[in-house]
């Protein structure tokens, strides 16, 4: 038997990452899994330092930290740096105690089948691109005045690979659509209904529909996600009379806008094996139908 601590968005907040690792130790969890917006910004010195701090803290605690990509993680760079360094379970090794789960990755812990599907839509894309443009203007102005420095200004705040495409998802499901026990995503499935939804916007629906498609295909008993920055539990249909319990997790305190926030809203301790979580009967007021 063992436990894994599933954690919501960290956003590169090293202090909160250390709080999460301490919570893992208190709850006898040798593994922490962060469901996106981890803080994968190694294109910047602060991002590399953050990775080092998290790794050092995890190593000292005897914990391994895993994460999937959110919309604010530069996943293209993770692949560029670490595709040649997978561990025995197929995770990409970013540091000795820090691992990345690429989209569609599957693995088994304690007889429990897991799958990870990262990615989501940034609703602040315009703001991020505008900031990149202003940085580019400043660099060009300094160049005209004789500066030889040419820092990269595009792809530093917004990442074009942030969402799965329909084609990417289709290829992943075609490769393996067998059922799993636990599905880990950054975005929510379309049919889940949190009590406070900051992503209830038309531009967000296509990726939520993709996650719903994954739920239909893999029929997990449990789904954990972040992205909304609020803690909630819901139950959604996954087909043929089966149900998936959805656990939305809150984020680090500096990014939360929810008045009822508490640190422990940002994690959930999952005992393993988690193979006995099937929902046979669901109260009518908790049932959610699948979108057409």
Q: Which stretches of the chain are DSSP H helices?
A: 14-26, 45-61, 75-82, 125-144, 166-175, 205-218
- Pairing mode, if any, of strands 182-185 and 112-117? parallel
Q: Which residues pair with 225 in a beta bridge?
A: 248
93 domain residue, yes or no: yes
pLDDT at position 291: 46
Long-range contacts of 171-180, Cβ-Cβ distance < 8 Å, separation of 24 or more: 172/103, 172/104, 172/117, 173/213, 173/214, 173/217, 175/104, 176/104, 176/106, 177/217, 177/218, 178/218, 179/113, 179/218, 179/219, 179/220, 180/106, 180/113, 180/114, 180/115, 180/218, 180/219, 180/220
pLDDT at position 260: 84
pLDDT at position 275: 78
Total count of domains within the chain: 1
pLDDT at position 119: 98
pLDDT at position 259: 80
CA distance 243 to 220: 8
Return the closest-CA partner of residue 8 out of 229, 236, 289. 229
Please give the residue range of the domain that contains residue 43.
2-122+158-286
CA distance 292 to 279: 22
150 domain residue, yes or no: no
270 domain residue, yes or no: yes
Structure tokens at 86: 């997978």
pTM of the model: 0.92
149 domain residue, yes or no: no
Q: In CATH, what number is assigned to the domain containing residue 240?
A: 3.60.21.10
130 domain residue, yes or no: no
CA distance 232 to 38: 20
CA distance 251 to 52: 21
CB 92 within 8 A of CB 178: no
Long-range contacts of 81-84, Cβ-Cβ distance < 8 Å, separation of 24 or more: 81/42
pLDDT at position 129: 85
CA distance 86 to 152: 28
133 domain residue, yes or no: no
For 290, counting Cβ atoms within 10 Å of its Cβ (0-12 exposed, 13-18 middle, 19+ buried), the class is middle
pLDDT at position 277: 64
Per-10-residue mean pLDDT of the chain, 292 residues long, equals 92 98 98 98 96 98 98 97 97 98 98 98 90 70 62 75 97 97 98 93 97 98 97 94 96 90 95 75 52 42
Rounded to the nearest 10 degrees, the angle between the axes of helix 14-26 and helix 45-61 is 20
Sign of CA dihedral 227, 34, 234, 169: positive
Return the closest-CA partner of residue 246 out of 215, 202, 275. 215
- Chain centre to alpha carbon of residue 288: 23
């Amino acid at each position: 038997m063992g436990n894994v601590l599933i954690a919501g968005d960290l956003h590169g907040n090293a202090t909160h990452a250390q709080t999460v690792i301490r919570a893992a130790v208190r709850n006898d969890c040798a593994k922490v899994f962060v469901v996106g917006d981890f803080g994968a910004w190694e294109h910047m010195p602060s991002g590399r330092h953050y990775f080092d701090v998290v790794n050092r803290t995890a190593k000292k605690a005897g914990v391994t930290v895993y994460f999937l990509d959110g919309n604010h993680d530069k996943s293209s760079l993770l692949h560029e740096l670490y595709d040649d360094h997978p561990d025995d379970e197929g995770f990409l090794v970013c540091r000795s105690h820090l691992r990345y789960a690429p989209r569609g990755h599957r693995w088994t812990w304690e007889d429990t089948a897991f799958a990870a599907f990262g990615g989501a839509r940034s609703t602040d894309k315009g703001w991020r691109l505008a900031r990149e443009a202003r940085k580019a203007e400043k660099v060009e102005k300094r160049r005209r005045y004789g500066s030889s420095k040419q820092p990269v200004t595009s792809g530093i705040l917004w990442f074009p690979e942030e969402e799965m495409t329909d084609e990417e998802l289709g290829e992943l499901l075609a490769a393996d659509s067998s059922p799993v026990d636990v599905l880990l995503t950054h975005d929510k499935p379309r049919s889940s209904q949190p009590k406070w939804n900051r992503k209830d916007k038309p531009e967000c629906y296509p990726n939520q529909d993709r996650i719903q498609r994954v739920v239909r295909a893999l029929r997990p008993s449990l789904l954990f996600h972040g992205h909304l920055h609020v803690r909630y539990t819901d139950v959604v249909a996954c087909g043929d009379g089966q149900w998936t319990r959805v656990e939305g997790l809150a984020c680090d305190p500096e990014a939360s806008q929810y008045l009822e926030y508490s640190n422990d809203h940002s994690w959930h301790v999952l005992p393993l094996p988690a193979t006995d979580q099937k929902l046979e009967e669901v109260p009518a007021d908790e049932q959610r139908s699948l979108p057409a």
